[in-house]
């Protein structure tokens, strides 16, 4: 199996009233997150984001309000996941996208990736996700909402 590319996409799926889709990881029970995944060969972050939404939820991102937030984070890869990357790779660059749905929709999870999903208020989501980059994206969502009031 080839090594993962240390460039990924994080897609915050939400509704206009800031309900956010969270999914529990299959390989780390109790770890909740938004849609995320690494780029595959010759993909842009945008293309990877569209693909990951489809793979992890069954939704077609391009049928809704899908936006590149022009935001990225560099973070240290958790030690228990470093074996997926080439030797010596310890950091990942994550590009952030937003996908606004008209209302909470049912999703079809990839069973090898996620156990269950929930729609929760963005503040609750920010307390629940394990990744600081996911927290930062959720805070930006909340800030954007405050600016539109």
pTM for the model? 0.93
3-state secondary structure (DSSP) of residue 23: strand
The confidence band for 1, taking pLDDT boundaries of 50, 70 and 90, is low
Cα 2 to Cα 67: distance, rounded to the nearest angstrom? 30
- Specify the pLDDT at position 149: 40
Domains and CATH numbers, the chain: 7-148 (3.90.79.10)
E strands in the chain: 7-14, 19-25, 32-33, 35-38, 65-76, 91-100, 114-121
The answer to whether the CB of 27 falls within 8 A of the CB of 70 is no
The confidence band for 2, taking pLDDT boundaries of 50, 70 and 90, is confident
The answer to whether the CB of 61 falls within 8 A of the CB of 88 is no
Residue reference for tokens 């660059």? 93
């Amino acid at each position: 199996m080839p090594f993962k590319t240390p460039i990924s996409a994080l897609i915050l799926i939400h509704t206009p009233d800031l309900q956010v889709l969270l999914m529990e990881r299959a390989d780390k029970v109790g770890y909740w997150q938004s849609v995320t995944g690494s780029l595959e060969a010759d993909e842009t972050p945008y293309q990877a984001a569209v693909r990951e939404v489809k793979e992890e939820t069954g939704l077609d991102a391009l049928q809704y309000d899908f936006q590149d937030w022009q935001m990225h984070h560099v973070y240290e890869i958790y030690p228990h996941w470093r074996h997926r990357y080439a030797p010596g790779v310890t950091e990942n660059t994550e590009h952030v996208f937003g996908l606004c749905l008209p209302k909470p929709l049912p999703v079809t999870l990839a069973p090898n990736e996620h156990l269950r999903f929930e729609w929760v208020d963005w503040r609750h989501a920010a307390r629940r996700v394990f990744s600081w980059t996911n927290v930062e994206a959720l805070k930006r969502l909340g800030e954007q909402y405050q600016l539109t009031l």
